[in-house]
Amino acid sequence: MKSILVIHQSAELYGSDKTLLLLLGDLDKTKFSILVILPGQGPLVQELENKGIKVVILPVLKLYRKMFTPKNMILFFKELARTIPLLDKLNEKYNFDIVYSNTLAVLLGMFYARKRKIKHIWHVHEIIVHPKIIAGLFTYLLNKYANVVVCNSAATRANLTGRIPAIASKCIVVHNGLDPEAVQHVTGGITRQLLGFNHTDIIVTLVGRISRLKGHKWLLSTYINFLANSNVKLLFVGSPVPGQEYYLHEVEGIIQAANISDKVKTVPFTKELEAVWTITDIAVMPSTEAESFGLVALEAMLAKKPVIAANHGGLTEIVVQNSTGFLVEPGNEQSLADAIKQLTDDAGLRLEMGKKGYERAKESFSQEKYVEGMVSILNTY
């Protein structure tokens, strides 16, 4: 039996959290022993424990932009010095064969695997471009301190190999996947009536963190300039990162200033997305920077919804232009508006693209394929 120390950046249930939960929940417990380190409490803790997976709360040593100050660097290495002995106690009990760092943000796995000479698998769920010094630093650390770099898309891999070509020998692409039965149509919870929308409205939904990268402002500006007088309504589902609530305030300010509070609704993060997809007509992912994958697009396709996405990053590997949805020029309001109008004007096209999206998601991005790919890597190292 292989013993795996898993280190992850958060205890929430967004993209990388969900893919980790799917993987660990599906691993054969007679072949793999799993211990998960998370930085705090959250819904992921309960979900993992419900699957019989042990969770320990410890610092995961996140790399963040403001850490490069004398004070923060001192705190960082103090945390490292305090955490290593705690991991050693766990290692005495579990005898780890593999350290698995899930996402670039966690550095604890890199330090511990190096110090105790344990194989290190680093799973990359991000495309970092700016600031360039951070993007370059991450690629350097991956190349130096990972035995295997798992990339969740070809776009993620290309971002790394474009900086350090030699890292290609370590990179393996394993696309994320979902259970085709995971998204079901349900009633109750969030409804059109509860939001103040009626049955003739076309609901365009953006699911994701309220942040500068997800494109809320791009979509809002497009709506105000091209769609506000139509029967299109917008639904935002998600919450800001703790400490970055000002992004939500900015979005709310735009909505109020344009006097469209009755046409645009914001719902906090919920792990029960089935009701959201049930009332959705069109899913949008107007990301202003390249997504490494785009799990929300996959969820929408499994709910048989057409997807409009920005034409960059991992989304281009999921959405098929003019088949399962539309890929639009990033930041281009006219391009986004045209795609939305094409779908709002043609219910048959929405239905056709939704069906094709479901078939593509089921065939190319199944949970089974994702888990098989990861198990192959875990068995090899």
The pLDDT value recorded for residue 138 is 92
The pLDDT value recorded for residue 187 is 53
The pLDDT value recorded for residue 82 is 93
pTM for the predicted model, two decimal places: 0.89
The pLDDT value recorded for residue 132 is 86
The pLDDT value recorded for residue 66 is 67
The pLDDT value recorded for residue 45 is 96
Cα-based distances in Å from 97 to 2, 32, 59, 100, 357 = 6, 10, 21, 10, 39
State the Cα–Cα distance between residues 194 and 355, nearest whole angstrom: 27
CATH 2.40.50.140 fits 2-177+366-380, yes or no: no
Instruction: Sheet with 119-124: list strands edge to edge.
Output: 54-57, 32-38, 2-8, 98-102, 119-124, 148-151, 171-173
CATH code 3.40.50.2000 region(s) in the chain: 2-177+366-380, 192-364
The pLDDT value recorded for residue 183 is 61
**Residue 202 contacts residue 233 (beta carbons within 8 Å):** yes
The pLDDT value recorded for residue 6 is 98
Which residue from 171, 153, 207, 160 is spatially nearest to 318, judged by alpha carbons?
Answer: 153
CATH of 192-364, one of 1.20.1250.20, 3.40.50.2000, 3.30.450.40, 3.30.460.10: 3.40.50.2000
The pLDDT value recorded for residue 65 is 62
The pLDDT value recorded for residue 63 is 72
The pLDDT value recorded for residue 179 is 87
The pLDDT value recorded for residue 14 is 82
State the Cα–Cα distance between residues 77 and 61, nearest whole angstrom: 9
The pLDDT value recorded for residue 135 is 87
- Which parts of the chain register pLDDT below 70? 64-68, 182-188
> Which contacts (CB < 8 Å, 24+ apart) does range 334-339 have?
334/226, 336/218, 336/219, 336/222, 336/284, 336/286, 336/308, 337/222, 337/225, 337/226, 337/227, 339/308
